[in-house]
Structure 1
Amino acid sequence: MDVDQQSQKKEDHKESEHINLKVTGQDGSVVHFKIKKNTPLRKLMGAYCNRAGIQTGVVRFRFDGNPINDEDTPAMLEMEDGDSIDVFQQQTGGCKSLLC
């Protein structure tokens, strides 16, 4: 293998270590992120909240309808390039009866 092939192989490997994800807010806004497959998603979630000017505790992130935990990584959740993460306002309280 010559030097050009080795450097191309290294570049391909570096690209495969990253994944492009989009985060979709309730208002339909989309923010794109490029993240390493083994990076905890808390970093992405924190960056999204910083950009949106919101506190991390007031929103919830979901992938394929399932909640995302701080320590989850794209690799753990079997995310693929171009997948979407949904963001929802956290809801607290609630009532089971009509006479709350």
Structure 2
Amino acid sequence: MSNMASHGKRKAYKDEVANDDGIVYVTFTIKGQDGRKVFFKVNQDKFLIKAFRKYCQQLNLEYETMHFMLEDYTIKGNRQTPKMLNMENGDEIFAARQQSGGGGATL
């Protein structure tokens, strides 16, 4: 039995919560290095880049300098969705500034 609605959107499974329009949303937080958290609710089938850009905009950060991780796994926001990452409500994504360099110290 298909889990797709007649208009092409996937219906919610019994343990998922769908909005009135039948779209399944995932709620999560993005936590920065400073400990600040921003709450998001997104369509589980949409790329995460929009949430990441909004996070950066709210905290006055440059998206291009940020690194986002879920359980030590780097997230490619422009190519991955919450569904692809098996995200669940309440998950926390860690945001950090990218580090460059870091060569070994000379003695």
Q: Give the TM-score range, shorter chain.
A: 0.7 to 0.9
Deviations 1:49-87 (A, max 9, x none): 110111111110000111000210000000000100000
Equivalent residue letter for 1:30: K
Displacement, 1:30? 0.5
Larger relative contact order (C-alpha < 8 A, sep ≥ 6)?
1
Q: Name segments (4+ residues, structure 1) moved above 3 Å.
A: none
Equivalent residue letter for 1:22: T
Inter-partner Cα distance in structure 1 for 2:25 and 2:61? 26
| Contact 2:18/2:25 (8 A) holds in 1 | no
Structure having the larger proportion of residues in helix: 1
Alignment of 1:70-85 (within 5 A): 70-85=78-93
TM-score, normalised with respect to structure 1: 0.82
Matched, 1:21 2:28: yes
Alignment of 1:11-50 (within 5 A): 13-14=18-19, 17-50=24-57
Matched, 1:62 2:37: no
Q: Which runs of 5 or more residues in structure 1 are unaligned?
A: 1-9
TM-score, normalised with respect to structure 2: 0.77
Displacement, 1:31? 0.3
* Count, aligned residues: 89
Q: Percent identity?
A: 29
Q: Which runs of 5 or more residues in structure 2 are unaligned?
A: 1-11
Root-mean-square deviation over aligned CA pairs = 1.9
Larger displacement relative to structure 2 (28-37 or 14-23): 14-23
